[in-house]
Structure 1
Amino acid sequence: MMDIAAAIAAERRELADLLDGLPADAWDAPSLCAGWRVREVAAHMSLGFRYSLPRVALELVRARGGLHRMTDRCARADAAAMAPAELAAALRDNARHPWQPPGQGIEGALGHDVVHGLDITVALGLDRRVPEDRLLVLLQRVTPRSLRFFGAALDGVALRADDLDWSYGTGAPLHGTAQDLLLLTFGRRLPPGRVRGEHEDRFVLTRAA
């Protein structure tokens, strides 16, 4: 079995190196997270390391109990306050941090890092390939419940990975790389041309890049 903690640490270090190499204008480019630029995604990725539990509780109160409001507000504030080098360092310096998304376990922590990393690299058109073993851990966790949790509307679609022996669902085939299909299971929309199938238009970004 894969050492998931080691995979998380490697993912964070690799993403930190990638962030360190981004040109200045890339930090203000839109990500796949609606309303967030690259810098907001990077800030959000390290929130669980940088905020104590009392701080999280305080921010939740300020957001009137809304978790999404809290994470959005904190990501925007931290992205404005922290330099790109600080955001990258927050990932690298906490590569072995044991934080996990509430109720999602260590696999959820891996998913958090992998998917938000793809939110950045896919949006920027960077050719980063997530290692196969990390993708398989996450793809094997796709269930109707997880799709509902992430707001992924995949009714009538059968996901078929071109580069891994993985498929999910029933209906009209939708082909793409495993990491692109993983993004769909997390409720993301993709740049044009990344998936192929009868219903591909349902999963394409409509906002300007």
Structure 2
Amino acid sequence: MSETITRDASWAVIDAVRAEVADLLEGLTPEQRLQQSLCEAWTVRDVGAHLSLAALAPLGFVVGSAARQGFRFDAGIREGTLAWSRRLDDTEVVANLRRIVGVRRLAPGTMWRDPLIDALVHGHDIADPLGATLTTHVEAAATAAEWAWARTFGFPFLPQRRLRGLRLVATDTAWSRGSGEEVRGPVTSLLLLSTGRRTAYPDLSGPGADRARSLVHA
């Protein structure tokens, strides 16, 4: 795979994405902010709110949200984000993203590669359904994709299990993972695939591309 970027370089990309997403959200209509994101449970504005949760939410809010969902990971993240989003108006969602540029606070149990995944993937969760484009960060996306696979048992994305029988090969950097039928594409698309995003993936090719698309829509 490609060389991973450094911690400082990762935070620089995270800050750039936070600022770019804030600009994007600020220019949306109220109807666009309520559009469905690539995260099934969240609107575009909910995803924007989620991006500030780890950096700004009081510990009591985070623990309380998790406890109300029986400390189940997916449910805690889903419902905690919705609760956080309801506390904010549209102006505050944008202001919070600008406010956390330069903030290095991590959610409990995470490390610096986790907010990198969050920023890159959730940026596309917002932008792609709107037909908007974001700056491409190729090496950062390779680092995030590697971490999505290498994180303890692949949790929470489990790409080894979901994409079993497929080999992902980036066409814009030296990154690959998995074994089986080859799926080629830009590393950012492979990152989205590795994290289970349900989208059309028109830029994927190779003998495993159609199967890859079917797996994320299953």
Q: TM-score range by the shorter chain?
A: 0.7 to 0.9
In terms of mean alpha carbon deviation, does 65-74 or 34-43 score higher?
A: 65-74
User: Of 177, 182, 192, which residue of structure 2 is paired with 1:183?
Assistant: 192
User: Match of 2:172?
Assistant: 163
User: Of 28, 33, 39, which residue of structure 1 is paired with 2:39?
Assistant: 33
User: Match of 2:127?
Assistant: 121
- Residues 112-151 of structure 1 correspond to what in structure 2 (within 5 A)? 112-141=118-147, 142-143=149-150, 145=152, 147-151=154-158
SS in 1 for 2:183: strand
In terms of mean alpha carbon deviation, does 15-24 or 187-196 score higher?
A: 187-196
Q: Quote the Cα distance in structure 1 between the aligned partners of 2:102 and 2:113.
A: 14
Is the Cα contact below 8 Å between 2:66 and 2:80 reproduced in 1?
Answer: no
Q: Does 1:97 align with 2:97?
A: no
- Give the AA of the match of 2:157: F
Displacement of 1:92 after TM fit?
Answer: 1.0
Cα RMSD (Å): 2.4
What is the aligned-residue identity percentage?
Answer: 29
Q: Quote the Cα distance in structure 1 between the aligned partners of 2:31 and 2:118.
A: 24
Is the Cα contact below 8 Å between 2:13 and 2:137 reproduced in 1?
Answer: no
Is the Cα contact below 8 Å between 1:158 and 1:172 reproduced in 2?
Answer: yes
Displacement of 1:49 after TM fit?
Answer: 2.5
User: Of 74, 92, 100, which residue of structure 2 is paired with 1:68?
Assistant: 74
In terms of mean alpha carbon deviation, does 159-168 or 113-122 score higher?
A: 159-168
- Report Cα offsets for 1:6-32 as digits up to 9, x if no partner: 222222112211221223322122111
Is the Cα contact below 8 Å between 1:147 and 1:187 reproduced in 2?
Answer: no
- Give the AA of the match of 2:92: E
Is the Cα contact below 8 Å between 2:184 and 2:206 reproduced in 1?
Answer: yes
- Specify whether residues 154 and 206 from structure 1 end up closer, same or farther in structure 2 by C-alpha distance, changes over 3 A only: closer
User: Of 57, 79, 90, which residue of structure 1 is paired with 2:85?
Assistant: 79
Q: Quote the Cα distance in structure 2 between the aligned partners of 1:140 and 1:60.
A: 27
Moved >6 Å (runs of 4+): none
- Specify whether residues 144 and 44 from structure 1 end up closer, same or farther in structure 2 by C-alpha distance, changes over 3 A only: closer
Q: Does 1:109 align with 2:115?
A: yes
Q: Quote the Cα distance in structure 2 between the aligned partners of 1:194 and 1:102.
A: 35
Displacement of 1:206 after TM fit?
Answer: 4.9
User: Match of 1:46?
Assistant: 52
Displacement of 1:102 after TM fit?
Answer: 3.5
- In structure 2, stretches of 5+ residues that fail to align are none
TM-score (norm 1): 0.85
Q: Quote the Cα distance in structure 2 between the aligned partners of 1:38 and 1:47.
A: 15
Q: Does 1:197 align with 2:203?
A: no
Is the Cα contact below 8 Å between 1:32 and 1:188 reproduced in 2?
Answer: yes
In terms of mean alpha carbon deviation, does 144-153 or 154-163 score higher?
A: 144-153
- Give the AA of the match of 1:54: G
- Report Cα offsets for 1:161-206 as digits up to 9, x if no partner: 2222322222111122211100111122222524233342442565
